[in-house]
Amino acid sequence: MAELKKEIEKRRTFAIISHPDAGKTTLTEKFLLFGGAINTAGSVKGKANSKYAVSDWMDIEKERGISVTSSVLQFEYDGYCINILDTPGHQDFSEDTYRTLMAADSAVMVIDASKGVEAQTIKLFKVCVMRHIPIFTFINKLDRDAKDTFELLDDIESVLGIQTCPVNWPIGSGKEFKGVYDRESGTVSRFQAVSTGGAKKAQETDYSIEDDGLKQDIGDILYNQLVEEVELLDGASEPMDLDKVNRGELSPVFFGSALNTFGIETFLNHFLKMTSPPLPRMSNEGLIDPMEEEFSAFVFKIQANMNKSHRDRIAFMRICSGRFDAAKEVYHVQSKRKMKLSQPQQLMAQDRKIVEEAYAGDVIGVFDPGIFSIGDTLCKPGKKFEYEGIPTFAPEHFCRIVQMNTMKRKQFVQGVTQIAQEGAIQIFQEYTAGMSEIIVGVVGVLQFEVLKYRLENEYGCDIKLEPLPYNFIRWIKDPSTDVNALKRVNEVKKVKDMKGNPLLLFTNQWTINSVLEYNEGLELLEFRKN
């Protein structure tokens, strides 16, 4: 038991969230550099001869320079075992991020110092607040011209509604960026830029804030400004309160430059000391303690074709309690089956390592023969509790899929079904028809492009997408409702999901209200839990 406790206590599992282009993927890679997991960082923007970001493994990601799936990355650092859940920044893939946040114990929010809080950050932040996840803020790109530092803090507090406590403080920005002041130790790390990329990091020289050498180095103007701002900070900013941090009410703030690897090590060291080991998880039998000896986990992501040569399908699961032993059977609650998990592995983007054991806090991938769904619970045989489901959000854009080559019907149905099971898209059928007409719904329109790309490149199926004029979908709460008996549904499309649940597609909110008004007792849901 003591060994189990020791292993679990050294785990840290967190998600990295940001608006696109805030530098999230670069920051992730610099963490990996410090952990010795990689030797050279890739460039996300990627010139023709450069490496791609380690965490971006799908071909379309490399071509477009954006992350469209969540990656799972594990490495050891300074006695800790770190699981990073790297998420897509683009809002069209926000549903993947929502699911990933369900598997995290804390979140690192990356903000571009020149832009402050951006639209996508707000959306993702609200998911963290909903789950009371501790949020740590890294304000990036100080090597470029930035907004006023106090303005950035005000931005976070007013837009996101969370208090801030700067752990360090920047001196200038852009060409005038001279370094950061550590409030706890009273020292300044002096920034000297180097050519970016690879394993190189900016040179640092440490000074006490009272050192005359610092004043000579950065000049009187910036030095006096630093002293004034530090005095103002000490008198006006929130004190560090880890209880508030753990409740998601106070965000520790750090400054640096991921591209120049400046401020990353400081952030990582503070972050690991401030964050907690794996937290208890809610189930239908109450909170499950991670220190319990008995294994339990839930599936939060499914990804097909990570290895093109094997056409495989991987279910990612977050271990919530105890120790996973590859030699022992587990119980899959939803199918009511005992099984051994096949090919359990830990991942570094698309690179894998077969594992014999893992602990609460870890994320493992297992081969999925087609039995797992997002939100499924696995536990020790004899136990039959279920973890809280993961919400499926209502898509806002809809298309009819037209298959161009009917001879490839089998590959087409398999491809659409597998991609839908990953949660990247949702597919529906005409209420009275079978798979002869498939309608796809997505949260963001870029997902249509990914669907088309993947069907063509992974399944060899050419398709055409015909847009449908609907913007709202609602699940009918009582699945036994006679959909054909509903009134005022002339402008409504009746469909069913892959589990046979009835849904209605609407063009506008007015139509929704009208249907509810004329069908007494009808209840419609905006999202459902898997």
- In the numeric block, which tokens belong to residue 433? 């028809």
Q: Do 188 and 43 belong to one domain?
A: yes
Q: Do 322 and 436 belong to one domain?
A: no
Question: Using H for helix, E for strand and C for coil, what is the string for 306-321?
Answer: CCCCCCCEEEEEEEEE
Following DSSP, what letter does each residue of 18-51 receive, concatenated? E-TTSSHHHHHHHHHHHTTS-SSPPPSS--TTSP
36-53: average pLDDT: 47
Residue 388 within a domain? no
The domain containing residue 118 runs over which residues?
Answer: 14-70+104-274
Which residue among 325, 347, 379 closes a domain? 379
The CA distance from 116 to 19, in Å, is 10
Question: How far from chain centre, in Å, is Cα 527?
Answer: 19
Which residue among 379, 407, 439 closes a domain? 379
* pLDDT for res 332: 95
Q: Do 344 and 437 belong to one domain?
A: no
Q: Do 422 and 457 belong to one domain?
A: yes
* pLDDT for res 311: 58
Residue 497 within a domain? yes
Q: Do 366 and 420 belong to one domain?
A: no
Q: Do 120 and 232 belong to one domain?
A: yes
Residue 85 within a domain? no
Residue 7 within a domain? no
For residue 108, give the 3-state DSSP assignment.
strand
Instruction: Rounding to the nearest 10 degrees, give the CA dihedral for residues 32, 33, 34, 37.
Output: 60
164-178: average pLDDT: 93
Query: Residue 297's domain is classified under what CATH number?
Result: 2.40.30.10
* pLDDT for res 306: 55
Identify which has the larger pLDDT, 92 or 132.
132
Q: Do 355 and 407 belong to one domain?
A: no
Report which DSSP code applies to 329: -
Query: Residue 249's domain is classified under what CATH number?
Result: 3.40.50.300
What pairs with residue 72 in β-bridges? 85
What pairs with residue 323 in β-bridges? 359
Does the pTM of the predicted model rise above 0.85? Answer: no
Q: Do 297 and 240 belong to one domain?
A: no
Residue 1 within a domain? no
Q: Do 20 and 42 belong to one domain?
A: yes
Q: Do 427 and 514 belong to one domain?
A: yes
Q: Do 152 and 19 belong to one domain?
A: yes
Mean confidence (pLDDT) of the chain? 83
445-463: average pLDDT: 86
- What tens digit of pLDDT does each residue of 502-527 get? 999 999 999 999 999 999 999 998 86
- In the numeric block, which tokens belong to residue 518? 């004329």
161-175: average pLDDT: 93
Residue 94 within a domain? no
pLDDT band for position 69 (50/70/90)? Answer: very low
Residue 240 within a domain? yes
Is 291 within 8 Å of 4 (Cβ atoms)? yes
The CA distance from 20 to 340, in Å, is 39
- In the numeric block, which tokens belong to residue 381? 């045989």
- What tens digit of pLDDT does each residue of 180-192 get? 999 988 999 888 7
Q: Do 230 and 330 belong to one domain?
A: no
Question: Based on the structure, what is the number of domains in the chain?
Answer: 3
Query: Residue 397's domain is classified under what CATH number?
Result: 3.30.70.3280
Residue 65 within a domain? yes
